[in-house]
Amino acid sequence: MIEVSKAVWEAIATRGQFGETPDDVLRRVMELPEAEAGESYYARPLPVPVPGASDSGDSGGQDRLTGLAGYERGLSAAAKAAEYLGAEKAPGGTGNEFLLDGERVLLKWAKYRNSRIGVYVNHLDRVDAIVGVFEQADGSRELWKMPVEHMGEIGMQSVAHENQVQAHKKDVVRLGIKIGMIPADEIGPEEPVASLGESKYDGKYYRIGRTPERMATHNDVTWRRLAEHLEHKGKAHYRALVKLAEGHVSGTKSSPRPQSFIRYCIRSGWLKEA
């Protein structure tokens, strides 16, 4: 085990970007090459902001709005890849779950120079394969499909989400098969994805309305995450709250629609329009 002081750990965190491990940060700072596929890691969560940790930020990092923009662009990229592959939307799934050749797959986009894709753990028991949609220097996108069980071998703890694991592109390529290449001229401009667009709630900011007196354990976990953010920021956009609720567990099952919990909080008066 490597031991570092709190000051050093916080310095690593301030230099970290969303989706990076400590190894990524140190390699970049020390100008080392990217890790080779199969290398072992010492990974531990860093106290860096998750996408949308603030509702307004500077251009030097990823704040709530840029995080949500990246999230939606990922959904848009997944939708285009699904169209290219002839995949159909998976019933009851999230915005990037599709049915492809009889398998339930999760399409994950990675922009050029981003060497990792992240998968929430609640997806691992729900899909058969992960399809990496990897953007190339010329704007084209390579599509690589990897059986989901390999995530148990190569998945690393995300630095920003304790319930997310990440896979290195090199490992996905090594353990998967290439199933397509979308030319850049067939991609066109990114279009907004209406996966979260609900006219009654979307486009609005919310604050804490009242604190629940009693709450089921699985709801309490997600509510605490929302409340902590709102107590710090005062208010948050609907989509920012949905993003924070990702991985919410409903009863004994992981909910594929975190917006359902946010709507439940609004109807219950726990969240009020700001």
Residues 28-47: pLDDT tens digits?
Answer: 677 666 666 555 554 443 33
User: Is residue 6 domain-resident?
Assistant: no
Residues 121 and 26 in one domain: yes
Does the pLDDT value for residue 23 go beyond 80? no
User: How would you write 99-133 as a 3-class SS string?
Assistant: EECCEEEEEEEECCCCCEEEEEHHHHCCCCEEEEE
Higher pLDDT residue, 69 or 173?
A: 173
Residues 22 and 148 in one domain: yes
Higher pLDDT residue, 19 or 13?
A: 13
Average pLDDT over residues 5-20: 64
3-state secondary structure of 192: coil
Residues 108 and 45 in one domain: yes
Higher pLDDT residue, 4 or 49?
A: 4
What total number of domains does the chain contain?
2
Picking from 191, 196, 165, 157, the residue whose alpha carbon sits closest to that of residue 52 is 196
Does the pLDDT value for residue 196 go beyond 50? no
Work out the pLDDT band at 225, boundaries 50, 70, 90: confident
Residues 182 and 209 in one domain: no
Output the pLDDT for position 206. Answer: 92
| Full domain range(s) for residue 138 | 11-186
Picking from 209, 179, 225, 197, the residue whose alpha carbon sits closest to that of residue 274 is 209
Does the pLDDT value for residue 112 go beyond 80? yes
Does the pLDDT value for residue 106 go beyond 90? yes
Q: How far apart are CA 7 and CA 75, in angstroms?
A: 37
Q: What is the DSSP string of 119-175?
A: EEHHHHTT-SEEEEEEEPTTS-EEEEEEEGGGHHHH-EE-SS-TTEEEEEHHHHHHH
Average pLDDT over residues 99-115: 90
Around Cβ 41, how many Cβ atoms within 10 Å?
A: 14
Spatial strand order in the sheet of 116-120: 116-120, 164-168, 156-157
Average pLDDT over residues 71-87: 85
Does the pLDDT value for residue 145 go beyond 90? yes
Average pLDDT over residues 243-252: 72
- Which two three-digit tokens encode residue 115? 């060497």
Residues 151 and 256 in one domain: no
Residues 167 and 36 in one domain: yes
> Which contiguous run of DSSP H or E holds residue 68?
helix 64-85
Output the pLDDT for position 56. Answer: 31
